[in-house]
Structure 1
Amino acid sequence: MLSLAELELPTAADIELIEFARAVIDANTDAGPNEDGAHTMGAAVRDAAGRMFAGVNLFHFTGGPCAELVALSAARAQGGRDMTTIVAVGNHGRGVVGPCGRDRQVLFDYYPGIRVLLPTAQGVRVVTIEDLMPFAAAWTMEGGTQQFNEERFC
């Protein structure tokens, strides 16, 4: 596992992605400051062609989709392929938020090598999903849970 000192600093393109996600959730949140709502998180993803796609969460007690999964689905629906970077932000200036466990597993299984923007005590930093999920068990639609693959972890 990487130490905080080893994490990448965000690039100008990463900052642009954060601002895009922030603009989307700020324009579409249904909750005031310190209020609950169904749409309180935004996410943005960038593909290898440089296109950005966004989504917002849909909170529900049954486990509605997180903003990251909605952004990934929106990207796919709009022709986005080969996702390279993802970020989630909270409404009302709450800043960058790391993906939940379910989102991390989905990213790990479907988007090997994707860069994830994370909050840290020293500001936003960047890791690959493999660095975020050391020793994770991969899953595929064809074969279910896979054996450990050391090539995915440096």
Structure 2
Amino acid sequence: MACNPEELIAAAAGAKEKAYAPYSRFKVGAALRTATGKVYTGCNIENASYSLTICAERVALFQAVAAGEREFTALAVVGGDLAACFPCGACRQVLAEFAPGLEIITGQPGGPVHRRFLRELLPDTFTLK
């Protein structure tokens, strides 16, 4: 299924507005498209104990997996006012568990779109093999 990057960026931007980021004040939203075209969104949720904070990308993925999804084609990430905000290393590894060929799209609504594949951002993942 073809991916409309502007649609995913808009969904991620909407999710960003729901973020809970009182410590960093850096809101992030993510929108994850499944192989069937369904989109799951997530936002970052911070905690006073910083290590308990969770990124938007993992929130979106965990919601999708909890709903029974296992195949993903694209993920859009919108962070703050940055022109490009790619997933952190922890998110890259978690995403690779399900979709090593995932397309990562980032940008701002109406702005330039930046595209990479997860395997470019994390070439040597930990796997069962």
Q: Specify the SS of the correspondent of 2:62.
A: helix
What amino acid is the match of 2:5? D
> Which consecutive residues of structure 2, in runs of 5 or more, have no partner in the other structure?
none
Report matched runs for 1:1-154 at 5 Å: 13-26=4-17, 28-30=18-20, 36-37=24-25, 40-60=27-47, 61-91=50-80, 93-118=81-106, 123-134=112-123, 136-140=124-128, 146=129
Taking the aligned partners of 1:87 and 1:20, their CA distance within structure 2 comes to 8
TM-score normalised by L of structure 1: 0.67
CA contact (8 A) 1:87 1:97 kept: no
What amino acid is the match of 1:49? T
Q: Kindly report the root-mean-square deviation, in angstroms, between the aligned alpha carbons of the 2 structures.
A: 2.7
Taking the aligned partners of 1:30 and 1:57, their CA distance within structure 2 comes to 6
Taking the aligned partners of 2:68 and 2:33, their CA distance within structure 1 comes to 12
Larger-Rg structure: 1
> Which consecutive residues of structure 1, in runs of 5 or more, have no partner in the other structure?
1-10, 141-145, 147-154
Structure of higher RCO (CA pairs closer than 8 Å, 6+ residues apart): 2
CA contact (8 A) 2:57 2:77 kept: yes
Q: Name the count of aligned residue pairs.
A: 123
CA contact (8 A) 1:18 1:96 kept: no
Taking the aligned partners of 1:67 and 1:45, their CA distance within structure 2 comes to 10
> Does the C-alpha gap of structure 1 residues 63 and 79 become closer, same or farther in structure 2, counting only changes over 3 Å?
same
Identity %: 31
